[in-house]
Amino acid sequence: MLVLATLTPVYPYVFEVSQDIKTKADLKGQTIAIRAVGDATDIATRVTLLKEGIDPDKDVKLLAVMQEGARMASLLSGQICCTVAQVQDRLTLEQSGFHMLFDLTSLGLPNAQGVIATPRTYAAANPQIVQGFINALVESIALMKADRAGALPVLKAQLKLEDDAIVAATYDFFATEVVPNVPLPKPEQFADGIIVLSARNEKVKGFDVSKFIDASYVQKAVALGLDKKP
């Protein structure tokens, strides 16, 4: 596989906590919900806690709830105090008295989500198709950021959202804080995931992701000026 672009080079979450959690010191001894071991919520939670001086394996308990919607249900029922949340869940939680303790997008932690990849053999056999796709991707980001009014109905339809307030909040969060103008893939975006996963899988230790990254397609799109607002 070849990694061609990264649409989410920062962690697209805030760390939501119950009313009784006032500072990071209050997290010690608490149970924090993640979706699944080794997934994005697990990695984001671990990396954030470590940056804040909290050992995710000793100071707190990470509970993988597995089922879709179970994290929200466990928090809203008072069973668990905290979790990382995206826009829609954040709005729901904060309407129920939860509040943000950390904004992961502002912590400066590189991340690899929304990764665009293709088989190496396909890229070698179809370079023009791959380049055309990346050109369209880079251009669409510029269009999306330049035309909020035009982007909102598209976002609403694609994500099958009903609430216009959630649609607007989702756009504002991702368009201004998460998705970069130039979705350039970089090895450091994968570093946290490699570290966390290597603790459970020896085969991941020392994995050199740079051998699987090809930033040239994005660079060529930028050279054409496709990242500029129309």
Amino acid sitting at position 191: A
Q: Is residue 43 part of a domain?
A: yes
Distance between CA atoms of 105 and 120, rounded to whole angstroms? 31
Which residue range is the domain that position 167 belongs to? 2-6+110-223
Q: Is the pLDDT reported for residue 161 higher than 80?
A: yes
Q: 101 and 117 share a domain? A: no
pLDDT per residue as tens digits for the range 170-199? 999 999 999 999 999 999 999 988 988 888
Specify whether the backbone of 121 is left (phi greater than 0), alpha (psi in -120 to 50) or beta. Answer: alpha
Domain end, chosen from 106, 137, 165, is at: 106
- The predicted-structure confidence for 72-115, as pLDDT tens digits, reads as follows 899 999 889 999 998 889 998 999 999 999 999 988 789 999 99
What are 3-47's pLDDT values in tens digits?
Answer: 999 999 999 999 999 999 999 999 999 999 999 988 899 999 999
Higher pLDDT, 199 or 55: 55
Claim to verify: residue 204 and residue 145 sit in the same structural domain: yes
Domain end among 67, 89, 106: 106
Buried b (16+ CB within 10 A) or exposed e, 60-86: bebbebeeeeebbebbeeeebbbbbbb
In a domain, 160, yes or no: yes
Q: Tell me which of 77, 106, 135 is where a domain ends.
A: 106
State the average pLDDT for the chain. Answer: 92
- What amino acid occupies position 185? P
Same domain, 219 and 153: yes
